[in-house]
Each structure stands twice: as C-alpha cells, then as structure tokens.
Chains A and B, each alone.
Chain A
Amino acid sequence: MKPERNTIIGRWAELYGADLYRFARFRLGSVADAEDAVQDLFVRLATSSSDLGSVASPRSFLIRSLRNLCIDRLKRRTLSTTPLTEKMDIEQECEAESEIERIKVLMRHLPEEQSEVISMRTAQNLSFAEIAEILDIPTTTVKSRFAYGIDKLRKMLNDKK
C-alpha cells in the first residue's frame, strides 16, 4: 500500500466521518450498527486496491459505498416488522422515543425509493444532484421521487390535523 493511500483515507475519515455516521445512523437505526458500518467502509478502502486518488467526488463516492454496505446489512438483519397502515395514528407514531425513530416511522409509509431520497435530502442535507450521483439515477427522477413522497406524507399529515 502506498503511503498516499493512508493519507487519503485518513483525510476522508476526518472530513466525512461524521456525515457518514449520520447517514448510517439514519439507515440502520442503532449507534453500534452505524459506527460499525462506517468503520467497515474505511477498513475495506484501506485494504482494497482501488485507485482512491482518481475519485473525483469523495463525499458522493463514500456515501454510495456506505449505502451499499447498509443495504447488505439490512438484508442480513432479521427484522420483525409490522407493516404500518394508513389507519395508524400519526400522533402515536410521533411519540417514538428518538427523533430518528419518529421520522423512520413516518417514512415507512413511503416506498423505499422515495423515503431514501427524502432522507438523503433532509437528514444528510445532500443536493438533488449529489443524490442523483450517489444513486446513479437522473436528477429529474430524484426530484420526482422527492415530490411524490413529500406529497403523500403531506396528505397524511393533513388528514390527521
């Protein structure tokens, strides 16, 4: 391994470590899983032979890689989920212990592709262009997923007012 590779990885960890943690925390829920996923990402980078020096947009690259790791972890995880229905009491859902849990409960009303875009925009403060790059889809698709998702939740929240 070349020394500059260590430098790049250390710098990325310093610059984007907290952002990546927030992303993983939102995706995976638990603090331990989020930390583990981010550490796993950097360990893989440290031991891989990919040319990190040629990565043009490190933040997007890291989030895209972390997203894949999170998806793998979620697939492996055995969850006893109960599908939420439109009839569920939004007020009750909003009493979820943590802020993240509260938002995740709301997001479960949306298809994954819409909730993913919305959480990237709200929790990670990524631009539509960055989201498009990470998900490898057109920006117009990102915007339409965002709009459909927000509109659906808007109507839900209105119904409960």
Chain B
Amino acid sequence: MNCEIFKQNIAELFDESVASGGEQSAIQREMLEHIETCADCKALYEEFCYTMDVLTPSVNAEPSVEFSRRLSERIEKATPKRKSLHRVLYRVGGAVASVAAMFLVVINLLPATPAKASSGYFGKAAAKLNQAQSLFMRISMRTMPAENFDFLDPTAEFVEHTVQRVGEAWRVDKGDRVMFGDGGQWWQWVESWNNGWTGYGVPSVLVDLMVNPQKLMQFEKSLAEADLGVIYETRNEGGLTFVTVTSPALGDWLESNYMYMSSILESDSRREYAFDRRTKELIAASVYVLYGTEEEKVLTVDQIIYNAPIMSADVARLPEGIEFVEPLNANSGARFVGISARQAAVKVFEAMKIWDVEVLREGIPFVDVERLRDDYEGVTILEVKDAVRSGLYVGYFVPMKVQYRNGKSEELMVAMRNDTPSGGWIVDGGI
C-alpha cells in the first residue's frame, strides 16, 4: 500500500462495513494499517472523517407520529377494500342531508361561465325524464340484495333492481329489499329479515336518483356548467351520443376515509351516459369506480322505458306478514339528548352490557333489538376514540374496541346521527 493507492481508494474506508465496525475487506485492512505509519494519509483520512461528520445530520429527520397513520390511511384509501356487511346494515339513507346540501351548493354557486357542450345533453334528457308520465327501468349494481340501497361493494356480484314510477308513486325492488313511496310517506322492508320500516321524506340518495333520474341529469348539468375540474368527453356512435364524466369522490375525508367507496357518490368515479341523438332521451348509463388508473364497473342502467304501462296498484303493493315500524318517532334518541356522539355510543353499549331494553329501543330504533341480544348482551367497552366524520354521512362515526362475553374483541365504527325528531342520538349502523 502506498499513498497514491490509498488516496485512490479512500472511499473504501467510508463504506457501511467499516463505518459500522463490520467485517473488513483486504484492501480496507491494508489501508487502515497504512495510516498507522503514514502521517499524511492519516491526516487526509481524519479530514475526510471530519467532513463526513459535518455532512451527517446530528438529528435525524424523523417523521411525525401522525405520519404512519396518514400513510396507512392513504394506502387504505387507494386500495380496493371489501367493507364488512354489518358495518352499514342498518344505515337507512343517512347521507341524504349532506347530499341535498351539496346539490344546493353546486347549484347556487354556479359561476357565469358558458355551459359546456355536455350540459346540453343533460338538460334535454332531464326535461324528457320529467315529462314522462311513467318510467320503468332495469338497473344492475354491485351490492347485496338485502343491504341498504345506497350500499356499494365493488367486489360483489351485480344485483338487478327494477324501478317503477307512475305519477307520485314509485317502487324500487332489489330482490330482498324493496321500497315504495306515495310522494310523501315511504315503506321499506327486507323479506328475509321480516323487518319493515316506514317514514317520510327522502330515505336514500340512490333511490331518489333511481326514481327521479331527472335529478341526476340536472346535477350533472350543474356540474358541467360549474366547471369544477370534472372531466367530460363526448362521442357519437350509431345514432347515440355518449357523454363520459370523470369526477372525484364527494364528501368530507379530512377525519376519516371509512365511507370512501361505500357508495357511488363517495367514490372516485367515471359515469358514462348514452343519449338518443334524435329524441335526446337518456337510454342507458354505466358507472365505474376508479382505483387510481384501474376501474371497476359497478352500476349499469340497462333499460329505460318511457311512459310504460304501469299500474299504481302494483307499485303500492305491501307484503303480508311484515309489521312496519316508524324508527324515527318522537322517542327515538330521547335519552341521548344534549350529549356528544361519543357519549351516546358509550351509553348504548353500557345498556347492552346489562341489556336495558328500554334504553336500547330508543338508541337503536332501526332494528328489533332482541335480534342483537345473542351477540351483544354482556359486551364490554375496551376503548373509545373521538367521533369522526366521513364522506357524505350526515352523522358521526365513533371508533370503539369492544369485547364480547365469549372473550373475543372487535374494533367497530359505530355510526351515530342525531337528526331525529327528539334531537337525540341513535345508532344508525356499525354494529
């Protein structure tokens, strides 16, 4: 080893093995021996060491404690996931208020910009749908036959929905779950559960859009005119005009992505509409949810019959043997007024522990609480976190960890809402 070779190879002494005190190579050993006898090379080596010290951060730039959580959430959001069925089993149209508000915001804040070409198709199609005396539609969606109508599961099979509308009356049937309305009141039931509910207003965002597709057309028209960064493409083919809309998931995602991809509006989506070029009628539609650059078709409108011969009596037919309860009555949530969603969730689970039926009936109005008894009686709360908002859901989600009496523990996101007649909280899902 001479000084020239030492200088040529000095980097060898700064590789990981030497720096970390690991096994040395032959040349590294020779170089270390050389500096024991050569003052010049030793000085050079020490100056290199000093320079390395200057360039090595004395304090590592460690990520914040929140970094891992945020990273996990981003990965989870980007990754298609299968939401467990019982998470939203009892959710009945919870997103309505938020979506209605969102529509209003979009419509009211339209800037005075020229309407895009696409908005013309939507506007004319809305008028045609509005003018129809009756409508019959076949719609296929990836979901479960008994699940609430808004529930979307991109990994599930397609479930056919038939939609009928005549005058003020309407009916949507997805096999196990059926709903009809008379313009004021609605009735909904799941035959396999032998459960029925009734109420007033708009019970489901998707049902509202299925029964009143003109609202969807108006919404798309408003989006197109508002120029909110949504991407539009049009093409003509075989007497049809296709308009494709690519838009991001709607909703509040700052606190939690729990509801991301749980419904079409809460998904990044591409929506393709086919219009008859002559009549301007909407004749078909497809909806895809997007996973980054990949996509999955989740809904198709396969058939639309305008002015179909539909009898009002067939639309307003109720099943036999199902008792309809009005979940949101004056008592709903009455014992849960003036407290937070988190406190209300705790109160419900404490009532489950001792199985206080009176409290549970008020706190979980959408279901016969006796159906829950086998699973939840004796449950113990292990952990409760602050309530969070997610997506378009009108209420809050309370993250909880509970232990059942068989010793098993489970993490839950308990959906709580207080848009009840009493203003008190009720459990809307997540159990």
Interface set of A (CB-CB < 8 Å, partner B): 1, 6, 9-10, 13-14, 17-18, 21-22, 25-26, 31, 34-35, 38-39, 42-44, 46-49, 99-100, 103, 106-107, 118-119, 121-123, 125-128, 143-144, 146-147, 150-151, 153-154, 157-158
**B406: CB under 8 A from chain A?**
no
Residues of A within 8 A of B77 (CB): 43
Which single member of A21, A42, A107, A158 contacts B75 (CB below 8 Å)?
Answer: A42
Residues of B within 8 A of A128 (CB): 11, 15-16
- A46/B70 contact (C-beta < 8 A), A9-B75, A143-B11, A147-B11 known: no
- Check if B57 sits within 8 Å of A122, measured CB to CB: yes
A–B complex contacts, Cβ < 8 Å, 18 sampled: A10-B72, A18-B67, A22-B60, A25-B63, A34-B61, A35-B63, A39-B71, A39-B75, A46-B292, A47-B78, A99-B57, A106-B54, A106-B55, A122-B55, A150-B48, A150-B52, A150-B55, A157-B51
Interface centre among B17, B51, B294 (most CB of A within 10 A): B51
How many residues does chain B have at the interface if contact means C-beta atoms less than 8 Å apart? 38
Cα(A154)–Cα(B7), bound, Å: 14
Cα(A150)–Cα(B55), bound, Å: 9
Which single member of A6, A38, A99, A154 contacts B48 (CB below 8 Å)?
Answer: A154
Residues of A within 8 A of B17 (CB): 127
Interface residues in B1-43 by Cβ distance below 8 A to A read: 10-12, 14-17
- Check if B67 sits within 8 Å of A143, measured CB to CB: no
**B80: CB under 8 A from chain A?**
yes
Interface of chain B, helix or strand or loop or mixed?
helix
Chain A residue nearest to B51 in the complex (CB): A154
- Check if B70 sits within 8 Å of A100, measured CB to CB: no
Residues of A within 8 A of B48 (CB): 150-151, 154
Which single member of A13, A31, A151 contacts B71 (CB below 8 Å)?
Answer: A13
Cα(A115)–Cα(B12), bound, Å: 18
Cα(A126)–Cα(B291), bound, Å: 33
- Check if A22 sits within 8 Å of B61, measured CB to CB: yes
Chain B residue nearest to A6 in the complex (CB): B79
Interface set of B (CB-CB < 8 Å, partner A): 10-12, 14-17, 47-48, 50-52, 54-64, 67-68, 70-72, 74-75, 77-80, 291-294
Which single member of A14, A43, A107, A121 contacts B292 (CB below 8 Å)?
Answer: A43
Residues of B within 8 A of A26 (CB): 57, 61
Residues of A within 8 A of B61 (CB): 21-22, 25-26, 34, 99-100, 123
Residues of A within 8 A of B72 (CB): 10, 13
- Check if B57 sits within 8 Å of A100, measured CB to CB: yes
Residues of B within 8 A of A106 (CB): 54-55
- A123/B292 contact (C-beta < 8 A), A18-B62, A38-B71, A46-B79 known: no
Cα(A23)–Cα(B231), bound, Å: 35
Chain B residue nearest to A1 in the complex (CB): B80
Residues of A within 8 A of B50 (CB): 154, 157
Chain B residue nearest to A35 in the complex (CB): B67
- Check if A17 sits within 8 Å of B67, measured CB to CB: yes
- Check if A47 sits within 8 Å of B75, measured CB to CB: no
Chain B residue nearest to A25 in the complex (CB): B61
Which single member of A21, A48, A151, A157 contacts B67 (CB below 8 Å)?
Answer: A21
